[in-house]
Amino acid sequence: MHKSLAPLFVLLSPALALAAEEAGGSPKGALLSPLKQGLPAMIAAFIVFIVVFGVLATRAWPQVLKGLSEREKKIRDAIQDAEQARTQAKAALEQYQKNLAEARAQAQKDLEAARAQQTQILAEMKAKSEREMAMEKDKIMREIEAAKKIALSEIYAQSAGLATTIAGKVLRREVNAGDAERLTQEAIGELASARN
């Protein structure tokens, strides 16, 4: 907008001076009217204007426009870089939050797995301990039963020998193997019934 006002001001300045002179103002310090100066002065002013405008348009304005264009480009690049950096920072923050959430989920999962494994190990150890105790108890019970049978066999054998000896003395005769067997079975039966 400033580019179009400068030539307009130059062209209108003689008309403004004329208007000031007609209003009763003093022409001192004001531009002389182009009509009073004549046509050659107007043509000279127009040529000077065209030359100055041409020099400014070909030399100064391109440099000014180039500087403004470069400045505008730098500002746009800075804004674009800032926007890109903001986008990258936002993406990095989202990735960090995602990784943090995944790490928390994984830690919770690992903790639950460790608890489940601990529970499983404890259950296995308890079951193993119970099995070992049951096996040991069965072994001891078998040993007790075997010792009991051996002891009863010895008692029965001693009882049979004793009974045979007593019977032989009471009867004053020799007890044969069949009599000894019968007497042993009777003694075992009496001992068994006495135990119950």
Residues sharing a CB contact under 8 Å with residue 98, sequence separation 6 or more, in sequence order = none
pLDDT at 29: 46
What is the average per-residue pLDDT within 120-128?
93
What's the full length of the chain, in residues?
196
In the prediction, which pLDDT does 132 show?
92
* Sequence-distant (≥ 6) Cβ neighbours of residue 15 within 8 angstroms: none
Where do the domains of the chain lie? 2-90, 141-195
What does pTM read for this prediction? 0.37
What is the tens place of the pLDDT at every residue in 1-37? Answer: 445 445 555 555 555 555 555 555 454 544 555 556 6
pLDDT tens column, 41-98: 888 889 999 999 888 888 888 888 899 999 999 999 999 999 999 999 999 999 999 9
Structure tokens at 10: 């130059």
Round to whole Å and give the CA distance between 55 and 72: 25
Question: Is the per-residue pLDDT at 158 higher than 60?
Answer: yes
Question: Can you give the pLDDT at residue 184?
Answer: 74
